[in-house]
Chains A and B, each alone.
Chain A
C-alpha cells in the first residue's frame, strides 16, 4: 500500500512529506507506547498513534519508520513537525479514531504482525 492510498482511506491530511507519498508501507503498527513500537521494530511500517509529542518522531527515527499517522485529529506541536522535516519522516493526520483507522486500512489490505514475542531477541 502506498501512503497516498493510506491517506485516501483514512481521509487524512498530509503534514510533512507531500513529495514522498508514493512511499510503500507493508505493515501497520498501532501503539501509544513508544517502547512497544521499538520492540515491534519493522522498518517498512506505518505507525498509527494518538500521541503527538516529538518523541514519537524520535522513535520513528530510531526504528527506521518512514511514516506516522496521528489519529483522532489534534493540533500538532511545532517541534514535532520541525523534527519530522529534519529527519525526513512523513506525517499524516486523520480525524478517525485509532480503532476505525486500523480497521479501514486492514480491510484494504494493510496487514499487521501476526504475533509479537516481547522476549525475543531483536535483530
Chain B
C-alpha cells in the first residue's frame, strides 16, 4: 500500500483539488475513460486514470469511494468539475503524460490493477 501523497511526489503530479486529502492509502489502479466501466469495475481507494474532464468524474469518484483521479494528456478541468471536486474535497491531479506511460510509472511504484 502506498499513500497518495507519495505518488504525487514520485510522479511529479500537479494537485488541482483535494490537496488536504492526500493521506489515504491507495488500494490499486483503474484506467478507463468510460464512466460505465469505472462504475462497474473500479474498487474503493483505487486511483483512477482518465482523460475525461466532465463533472461526472467527481460523481463517479464519490459513488465508488475512489482514492483520487489523475487526468492525463494535459487536459484542463471543466469549470463545473472543478467546483464540484473542491466542494467534495476529491483529490484531482493532472499530468501532461498519456495514460500508458503514467500507468507504467505507477506500476513501477508497486500499484497494480488486478480486479
Interface residue? A48 (CB, 8 A): yes
Interface residue? B37 (CB, 8 A): yes
Interchain CA distance A113-B51 in the complex, whole Å: 15
Size range of the chain A interface in the assembly: 20 to 34
- Are A112 and B49 touching (Cβ within 8 A)? no
Interface residue? B39 (CB, 8 A): no
Across the interface, which residues of B come within 8 angstroms of A33, CB to CB?
Answer: 33, 51-52
Interchain CA distance A97-B107 in the complex, whole Å: 13
Task: Give which listed residue, A39, A102, A114, A118, contacts B103 with CB less than 8 A.
Answer: A102
- Are B98 and A40 touching (Cβ within 8 A)? yes
Contact with A along B70-89 (1 / 0, CB 8 A): 00111100000000000000
Most buried by B among A29, A36, A39: A36
A115 to chain B, nearest CB (A): 5
Interchain CA distance A106-B51 in the complex, whole Å: 19
B residues 16-30 near A (Cβ < 8 Å) are 28-30
Interchain CA distance A71-B49 in the complex, whole Å: 15
- Are A106 and B98 touching (Cβ within 8 A)? no
Contact with B along A24-35 (1 / 0, CB 8 A): 000111111100
Across the interface, which residues of A come within 8 angstroms of B99, CB to CB?
Answer: 29-31, 98, 102, 112
Task: Give which listed residue, A39, A48, A107, A115, contacts B100 with CB less than 8 A.
Answer: A48
Contact with A along B99-114 (1 / 0, CB 8 A): 1111111111001111
Interface residue? B11 (CB, 8 A): no
- Are A102 and B51 touching (Cβ within 8 A)? no
Interface residue? A83 (CB, 8 A): no
- Are A107 and B97 touching (Cβ within 8 A)? no
Interchain CA distance A117-B73 in the complex, whole Å: 7
B76 to chain A, nearest CB (A): 9
Which partner residue on chain B sits nearest A51 by CB separation?
A: B34
Known: A102-B31, A112-B103. 12 other contacts (CB 8 A): A29-B99, A30-B31, A32-B32, A32-B34, A33-B51, A36-B33, A36-B51, A98-B103, A102-B100, A104-B107, A116-B72, A117-B74
10 A-B pairs closest in CB distance: A106-B104, A99-B113, A112-B101, A103-B107, A112-B100, A32-B33, A102-B103, A100-B113, A28-B100, A99-B29
